[in-house]
Each structure stands twice: as structure tokens, then as C-alpha cells.
Amino acid sequence: MVRSLITLIIFSLLPIFSVNGEELKFAVVPKFYSVFFDQSGIGCKDAAAQIKGVECIYRGPDIANVRVQDQLINQLIDEGIDGIAVAITQSKFLVENSLKRAKEAGIPIITYDSDFDGDIQGKAADFRAAYIGTNNFELGKSLGEQLKKLRPNGGTLIMQTGRPDSPNLNLRLMGVRSALSGKIYDTPPGDLLNNEQGWTEVREPFLNFDQLDRAVKQMESVMKGKPVKADSFIAVGGWPQNNETLYREMIAPYKAKVDNKEVIIIITDASPSQLTMLKDNLAHINVGQNPYEMGRQAILTLHKIVTKQEYDDIIYTPMKFCTPDNYDSCAKIATPEPAGD
């Protein structure tokens, strides 16, 4: 097995050529179409454009739904896809259905953004050749460490996540809890904080099931202080800010609370629109991922696998830490926009 790579990959504009002139089709399958995942589609297509005879197919559900994602993978298999990169929604369901079929058909599979959960990871080599994406536990730890900088004496916390069975999100929750409690947990998502090193979670994390309007309403309840009250809010994904209009309308009445740090707001991801909101002091910290690089590396890795080249079985894409004070530097390394249709 090739040694895992943890590095920032520099994009090269030099063309790459496929072997023996083969026409290869690789798919990137997100959890659902969104501001975040669509950047992986751009990275996928940009990489494919640099490899002669390679096509990127970016295809996913309109909303997070494992059964629809499974159907789409089956469609790709029927279409004769040469390799699949998938952001895992529910490990067990996919492994028992479409991914099992892909394995039997000899189609290489890699995971990106969200890997298999712990039970499946023990047999990861049976189901996927590589993982590309954020180190999700370390992302969670970073969120917690950033919060400690703003609240060094501890406080009360509410977190927000997507689905309760999402492997990458549970790792992030565990990372936050580890950073704040100083504890090591056996399994994700760890334990609810109860005055560990001064930190208490006032309730279980909000579950928004990837519904953006629901995410905004949940955050609004924190800003209101009703029905529960906390002085810190962490979203382990970008959901509440992924609809900029809704977020701005929601946060406007509570701007004084944000300015006075009555409620600390730390949100994952740093898309261009999120950085604009950060510049306007509508949050305190955004911890950005690099979905563009995930999509780009997915295609490069699948191409290496199919053409029998050496490849890295784990590629951790970089994070960036953005505040209103370093907005300019974060914006300069923002994810590239598409070159055209």
C-alpha cells in the first residue's frame, strides 16, 4: 500500500495523457448538489480537461438521500463507468447495494469528503482504493481549538450537524469534543460535554438533515436564546450559510449579539459567499475545506488506478482558518470558480 500523503497539492497546468489512447469516464458522486459539493464537480471537470481521453461525470441527488445516491451509482455502473468517487452518506446501505455491485463488476471506487464509518473502515480495502478529503477528526478539533481562543474560560455550546449516521460529521463532532474536553473517545461522535474543562453542551446537536432552511431556523433559536440558551454555536458543516439571503435575514436582528460576542459563531467551510458574510462580521470564524481539490484529486487518482500507476491511498486536503481580520488572505485562496459552461 502506498504511504498516505498529507500535503497541499499544487495545481499543475501541464497536460497529462491517458495510456494507450483509452477513452475513460470517471464519476464524482456527491451527497447532494450544493455550494460545497458543486466545487468538487468543478475540480473534477478541470482535472479531466487536462487528461486526454478522460471525461468527468458529476452526478448526485438534488437533496441528501442515500437511496437516490445508490440509484445514481447503479445508473453509472449500467452506463459502463470506469471509476467512481463517492461522498458516503450511509456506509452500510451503499456497501450492501450499489458499491457491492461495483466491486463485483471490477469498477474501482474511492471515497471523498466522507469515508466509510468505523465498522466498514476495518475492511476498507475491500470497498475502496483511496480516501480523498479533509481529515474530519482534525477539522473538528480545529473548530474546538478556535472556540477556545475566543472563550478561554469555557462556556455553553450547541452544535449543529446533518444526519446522525454521517461518518464524516460524527468524526467532526468527536473532534470538537476532544478539543474542548481533552479526552480521547473510542468511537464517534464521542460523549456530550458535561462541564469538561468548563465546557457543557446544553443539548444534543441539532440535526438538520441537510435542509438549509431548517439549519437557519435552528441557528435562529440559538440567537434568540429560546427554547435553549448557549453562548457558543458550532456548525460542523456550512448549512446555515449556504443560503446567503436566508442567513443575512436571520442574523440581522442579532447583530449586536455577534458584535459583543454574546454568542460565538463558528461555521465550517469558507466559500466566497461565506467569506463575504465573514467580512461583514456576521460570524466569528470559518474553517474552510477544499472541495475543489477533492474533486480534482479524485479524477487524478482514479486515472492512476485504472492505468496501473502508483497512487496515494489517503490524500488529506488542506484547511484554512478565516476571520474578519484575515479575510483578504482567505479570499485569495478561495475555491476557483468555473471557467465556463
| One domain, residues 179 and 309 | no
- Asked if residue 109 is part of any domain, the answer here is yes
Domain boundary among 240, 267, 288: 288
- Asked if residue 334 is part of any domain, the answer here is no
- Asked if residue 122 is part of any domain, the answer here is yes
Domain boundary among 272, 288, 304: 288
Q: What is the mean pLDDT of residues 303-314?
A: 96
| One domain, residues 208 and 127 | no
| One domain, residues 149 and 129 | no
Are 54 and 111 in contact by the 8 Å Cβ rule? The answer is no
Domain boundary among 271, 288, 305: 288
- Asked if residue 339 is part of any domain, the answer here is no
pLDDT digits (tens, 9 = 90+) for 146-190: 999 999 999 999 999 999 988 899 999 999 999 999 999 999 999
- Asked if residue 305 is part of any domain, the answer here is yes
| One domain, residues 108 and 228 | no
Domains contained in the chain, number: 2
Share of the chain above pLDDT 90, in %: 79
Share the mean pLDDT of the chain.
89
| One domain, residues 164 and 283 | yes
- Asked if residue 332 is part of any domain, the answer here is no
Grid cell digits, residue 41: 464537480
For 306-328, give one letter per residue: b (16+ CB within 10 A) or e: bbeeebbbbbbbebeebbbeebe
| One domain, residues 145 and 124 | no
- Asked if residue 330 is part of any domain, the answer here is no
Q: Which domain holds residue 225?
A: 136-288
| One domain, residues 160 and 254 | yes
Grid cell digits, residue 190: 464521542
| One domain, residues 102 and 167 | no
- Is the pLDDT at 249 greater than 90, yes or no? yes
| One domain, residues 120 and 158 | no
Banded model confidence at residue 201, pLDDT cuts 50, 70, 90? very high
pLDDT digits (tens, 9 = 90+) for 23-53: 999 999 999 998 899 999 999 999 999 999 9
| One domain, residues 178 and 112 | no
List the CATH number of the domain containing 304. 3.40.50.2300
| One domain, residues 178 and 97 | no
pLDDT number for residue 167: 86
Q: Please report, as a single letter, which amino acid is at residue 3.
A: R
116: Cβ contacts below 8 Å, ≥ 6 apart: 88, 91, 95, 124, 127, 128, 167
| One domain, residues 198 and 298 | no
- Asked if residue 107 is part of any domain, the answer here is yes
